[in-house]
């Protein structure tokens, strides 16, 4: 059964989307337009690791209609990372990589030099651990350059409020801001989100998301002193190198891995833009429109660390739990259940599902792409009951998000994903906090929680103090649900 209230809500989402698109340009300065003389959009990369190299590759691989693009500067805090990334990019892209030694920057202030190498209208890529996003974003917006920043956008409520605040200025300047939640650019998911908004599933009552696989990247860490590779590294650079292990740096495995599935569920629920003027409410005043707010407003969660040593008996000292189970509640009572696990040898799943009053939908399954998005009339994915499916194999959303960003820059289309990225990150902050404290955590509690690392804009040398410190045995403060109730560790 459809109900009139939800039809109004779907109309509202669609209508407000249109209004925002139309009004986004009203009263703002026109952007820098690349001139006939040199039409190249220059790109600077801050954070030349795995994804940074991938994002720069995508930037240099945009279709001819959106080119030309050129990489002109790179910043990192490790020289080996910077050189490795540049070598790989040079091999693949030749002349499109124009980064001489005087535009290679090592150190915590390198981001400023990299951004200073750009003109207005060019793009800065931020692919460090998320804790630094707001610091870089602030400088880029001040300088008037467009931004592509990876997910997660924040690791705590402090970061979320910072991004929302800085983005007000970015919007005034009509800067284009892409966020690496590339599934938002998945053509299959986009087509299914449209189906849902047109009522194909009736009212949404439940969403389920799963990110379960073995430990990857720097999810688990042993004490620095026990690691031949890292024992002589400065503490701060080590924590950043192992950023999935430290909540201040990344939000841990929770934010880093789960955000894609959590965000796509919020999309199905109507978080089309995550823009306060568009998505049904102001994130700084959720109570004013709670039943329309397309992000959950409360979380309760469980989680635990089951494995405490590696196969050589060395202790794991990272701040992650190995498993998380979260119940998110929306203002209108809709639930989002998320299961996350980083343990080998268990059932693996990487998917997002939706249940509505008219049926069931598979938004994604088996990872990021291609998404086998489909809708069914029953409660299961029984092919006999399939009522809609995305008709073709989709293209790579990592590339699509870059073509979409360049299209917006070239043709001055409204394009700013920063609020949405920050709010999706904040949903993660809220769920993670609920698991780590053992309390029911509301949107406002998570948004106003004490900052985990608030002075990252003041880091200078590699001898800077790290935001969290180990005891004499190399152990860091851990979440203790029920004991530490008002902070995560």
Ligand X SMILES: NC(=O)c1ccc[n+]([C@@H]2O[C@H](COP(=O)([O-])OP(=O)(O)OC[C@H]3O[C@@H](n4cnc5c(N)ncnc54)[C@H](O)[C@@H]3O)[C@@H](O)[C@H]2O)c1
Kindly list the residues in this chain that would bind ligand X in the complex (CB under 6 A).
Answer: 46-52, 75-78, 81, 108, 110-111, 127-130, 132, 150-151, 180, 182, 240, 256
Q: How far apart are CB 205 and ligand X at their closest, in Å?
A: 29
Q: Which is nearer to ligand X, 2 or 349 (CB)?
A: 349
Q: Which is nearer to ligand X, 108 or 316 (CB)?
A: 108
In this structure, the number of other CB atoms found within 10 A of the CB of residue 358 comes to 17
Q: Which is nearer to ligand X, 279 or 453 (CB)?
A: 453
Q: How far apart are CB 323 and ligand X at their closest, in Å?
A: 20
Cβ(220)–Cβ(310) below 8 Å: yes
446-480: b (≥16 Cβ within 10 Å) or e: bbebebbbbebeebeebebebbbebeeebebebbe
CA distances from 48 to 45, 76, 99, 177 (A): 7, 6, 13, 19
Q: How far apart are CB 136 and ligand X at their closest, in Å?
A: 8
Q: How far apart are CB 185 and ligand X at their closest, in Å?
A: 11
In this structure, the number of other CB atoms found within 10 A of the CB of residue 28 comes to 14
Q: How far apart are CB 188 and ligand X at their closest, in Å?
A: 16
Cβ(74)–Cβ(44) below 8 Å: yes
324 phi and psi angles, rounded to 5 deg = -140, 140
Q: Which is nearer to ligand X, 108 or 210 (CB)?
A: 108
Q: How far apart are CB 131 and ligand X at their closest, in Å?
A: 8
Q: Which is nearer to ligand X, 114 or 374 (CB)?
A: 114
Q: How far apart are CB 209 and ligand X at their closest, in Å?
A: 15
Which of 204, 193, 151 minimizes the C-alpha distance to 420?
Answer: 151
Q: Which is nearer to ligand X, 32 or 462 (CB)?
A: 462
Q: Which is nearer to ligand X, 195 or 425 (CB)?
A: 425
Q: How far apart are CB 81 and ligand X at their closest, in Å?
A: 3
Residue 370, preceding peptide bond in cis (omega within 30° of 0): yes
Q: How far apart are CB 272 and ligand X at their closest, in Å?
A: 20
Q: Which is nearer to ligand X, 52 or 296 (CB)?
A: 52
Q: How far apart are CB 446 and ligand X at their closest, in Å?
A: 19
Which residue's Cβ has the minimum distance to ligand X?
A: 49
Backbone CA torsion sign across 435, 270, 147, 422: negative
Q: How far apart are CB 390 and ligand X at their closest, in Å?
A: 20
3-state SS, 91-109, equals HHHHHHECCCHHHEEECCC
In this structure, the number of other CB atoms found within 10 A of the CB of residue 406 comes to 24
Query: What is the maximal distance between C-alpha atoms in the chain?
Result: 64
Query: Cα Rg for the chain, rounded, in angstroms?
Result: 22
CA distances from 414 to 34, 217, 373 (A): 17, 35, 27
Cβ(356)–Cβ(328) below 8 Å: no
- How far is it, in rounded angstroms, from Cα 472 to Cα 466? 15
Residues 6+ apart with CB under 8 A from 178: 147, 148, 149, 401, 402, 404, 405, 415, 417
Q: To the nearest 5 percent, what fractions of the chain are helix, strand and coil?
A: 40, 20, 40
Q: Which is nearer to ligand X, 180 or 270 (CB)?
A: 180
Rounded to 10 deg, the angle between the 50-60 and 397-411 helix axes is 50
Q: Which is nearer to ligand X, 129 or 479 (CB)?
A: 129
- How far is it, in rounded angstroms, from Cα 51 to Cα 46? 11
- How far is it, in rounded angstroms, from Cα 423 to Cα 427? 6
Q: Which is nearer to ligand X, 20 or 104 (CB)?
A: 104
Which of 135, 419, 434 minimizes the C-alpha distance to 295?
Answer: 419
Q: How far apart are CB 206 and ligand X at their closest, in Å?
A: 26
Q: Which is nearer to ligand X, 46 or 97 (CB)?
A: 46
């Amino acid at each position: 059964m459809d109900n009139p209230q939800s039809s109004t809500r779907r109309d509202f989402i669609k209508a407000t989307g249109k209004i925002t698109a139309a009004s986004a340009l009203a009263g703002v300065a026109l952007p820098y337009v690349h001139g006939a003389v040199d039409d190249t959009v220059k790109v600077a990369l801050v954070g030349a690791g795995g994804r940074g190299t991938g994002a720069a590759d995508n930037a240099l691989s945009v279709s001819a209609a959106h080119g030309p693009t050129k990489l002109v500067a790179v910043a990192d805090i490790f020289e080996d990372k910077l050189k490795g990334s540049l070598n790989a990019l040079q091999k693949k892209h030749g002349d499109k990589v124009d980064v001489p030694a005087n535009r290679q920057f090592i150190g915590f202030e390198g981001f400023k030099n990299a951004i200073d190498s750009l003109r207005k209208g060019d793009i800065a890529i931020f692919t460090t651990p998320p804790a630094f996003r707001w610091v870089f974003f602030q400088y880029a917006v001040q300088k008037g350059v467009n931004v592509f920043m990876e997910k997660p956008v924040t690791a705590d409520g402090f970061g979320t409020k910072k991004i929302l605040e800085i983005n007000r200025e970015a919007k005034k300047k009509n800067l284009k801001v892409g966020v690496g939640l590339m599934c938002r650019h998945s053509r299959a998911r986009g087509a299914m989100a449209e189906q849902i908004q047109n009522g194909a599933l009736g009212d949404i009552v439940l969403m389920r998301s799963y990110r379960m696989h073995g430990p990857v990247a720097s999810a688990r860490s042993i004490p620095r002193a026990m690691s031949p590779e890292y024992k002589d590294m400065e503490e701060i650079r080590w924590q950043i190198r192992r950023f999935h292990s430290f909540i201040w740096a990344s939000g841990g495995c929770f934010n880093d891995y789960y955000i894609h599935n959590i965000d796509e569920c919020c999309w199905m629920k109507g978080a089309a833009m995550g823009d306060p003027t568009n998505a049904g409410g102001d994130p700084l005043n959720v109570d004013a429109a709670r039943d329309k707010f397309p992000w959950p407003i409360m979380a309760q969660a469980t989680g635990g660390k089951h494995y405490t040593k590696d196969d050589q008996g060395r202790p794991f000292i990272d701040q992650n739990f190995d498993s998380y189970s979260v119940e998110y509640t929306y203002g209108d009572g809709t639930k989002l259940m998320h299961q996350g696990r980083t343990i080998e040898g268990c059932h693996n799943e990487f998917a997002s599902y939706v249940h509505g009053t008219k049926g069931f939908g598979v938004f994604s399954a088996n990872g990021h792409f291609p998404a086998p998005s489909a809708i069914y009339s029953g409660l299961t994915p029984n092919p006999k009951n399939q009522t809609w499916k995305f008709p073709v194999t989709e293209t790579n959303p990592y590339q699509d998000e870059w073509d979409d960003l360049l299209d917006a820059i070239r043709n001055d289309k409204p394009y700013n994903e920063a609020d949405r990225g920050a709010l999706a990150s904040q949903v993660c902050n809220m769920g993670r906090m609920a698991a780590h404290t053992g309390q029911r955590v509301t949107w406002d509690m998570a948004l106003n929680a004490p900052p985990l690392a608030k002075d990252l804009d003041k880091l200078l040398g590699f001898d800077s103090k790290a935001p969290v410190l180990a005891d004499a045995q190399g152990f860091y403060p851990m979440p203790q649900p029920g004991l530490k109730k008002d902070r995560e560790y």
